[in-house]
Each structure stands twice: as structure tokens, then as C-alpha cells.
């Protein structure tokens, strides 16, 4: 009987998990359209800088998403705050391009240092965003 009681929340888990994976997929799709280069193409060509910058952005998005799942009042709440987290990560990228105008060329040419700086900015803002999403 205790196992059945533990599994009583399985439908909620599945709804949040599938919803979160869907939001991550949407984020990756939108982020790749927002950047002027195609991350997956660059990554498939062995561009480590593209992998680092995309990885940082995805983790920077996933942290607030995890926080909203833990603190949300419902599934719709997760979607709304997931969209907010998406917009925040796009803003991080836009700010990085503003402050580092050659960022695009650096990532396309595989320079790891600027990509690491972008990933660090994405992770830092994602962590702060996650901490701010509490009720």
C-alpha cells in the first residue's frame, strides 16, 4: 500500500516533467533562431565554443524552470514563468552582444573564452532568476 500512496502524485510528476521538457525544447528552438548562427550545425562541426554557449544558456534557463516547478501553484504557473525565464535568457544574450560586439565572430570561429564568458553570464542570471521565483 505505501508504494501506491507514493505513486499517487505520478500524474502530476509526469505533467510537470513533460511540460518542462517541452519548455526546454521551445527554449532551444527560440534561442537558436534568436542567435545569428546555428548552434547545432556549429556543434556538429566540432565547435566547442558553440557547445559551451548553448549549454550555459540551456542550464541558465533550466535553473529557474526547476525553481518554478518546485514553487509553482499549478501547471499554468510553470508555463508562464518558463516564458519569463526564456525572455530573461534572450536578454542575457542581447546584453552580451551589446557589450561584446565581436561575440558572434568569436563563437563562430570557435573561441572558447568568449563562449565561456557568455555561458557564465547565462548561468549567473539563471541562478538569480531561479532565486527570485519564490512565493
Return d(Cα 43, Cα 4) in angstroms, integer: 44
Residue 15 counted as domain residue:
no
In a domain, 28, yes or no: yes
In order along its 135 residues, the chain shows pLDDT tens digits of: 578 777 888 898 999 999 999 999 999 999 999 999 999 999 999 999 999 999 999 999 999 999 999 988 888 989 999 999 999 999 999 999 999 999 999 999 999 999 999 999 999 999 999 999 876
In a domain? residue 61: yes
Closest by Cα among 110, 116, 127, 101 to 53? 116
Domain membership flag for residue 75: yes
11 within a domain of the structure (yes/no): no
**Quick check: is 57 in a domain?**
yes
Distance, in Å, from the CA atom of 51 to the CA atom of 109, rounded to the nearest integer, reads: 12
| Containing structural domain, residue 38 | 23-132
Confidence (pTM): 0.92
**69 within domain boundaries:** yes
Q: State how many domains the chain has.
A: 1
Is 103 a member of any domain?
yes
Amino acid at each position: 500500500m505505501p508504494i501506491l500512496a507514493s505513486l499517487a502524485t505520478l500524474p502530476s510528476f509526469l505533467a510537470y516533467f513533460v511540460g518542462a521538457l517541452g519548455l526546454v525544447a521551445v527554449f532551444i528552438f527560440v534561442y537558436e533562431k534568436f542567435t545569428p548562427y546555428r548552434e547545432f550545425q556549429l556543434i556538429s562541426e566540432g565547435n566547442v565554443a558553440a557547445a559551451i554557449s548553448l549549454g550555459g544558456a540551456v542550464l541558465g534557463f533550466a535553473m529557474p524552470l526547476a525553481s518554478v516547478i518546485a514553487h509553482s501553484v499549478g501547471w499554468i504557473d510553470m508555463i508562464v514563468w518558463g516564458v519569463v525565464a526564456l525572455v530573461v535568457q534572450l536578454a542575457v544574450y542581447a546584453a552580451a552582444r551589446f557589450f561584446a560586439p565581436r561575440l558572434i565572430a568569436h563563437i563562430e570561429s570557435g573561441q572558447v573564452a568568449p563562449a565561456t564568458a557568455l555561458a557564465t553570464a547565462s548561468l549567473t542570471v539563471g541562478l538569480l532568476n531561479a532565486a527570485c521565483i519564490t512565493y
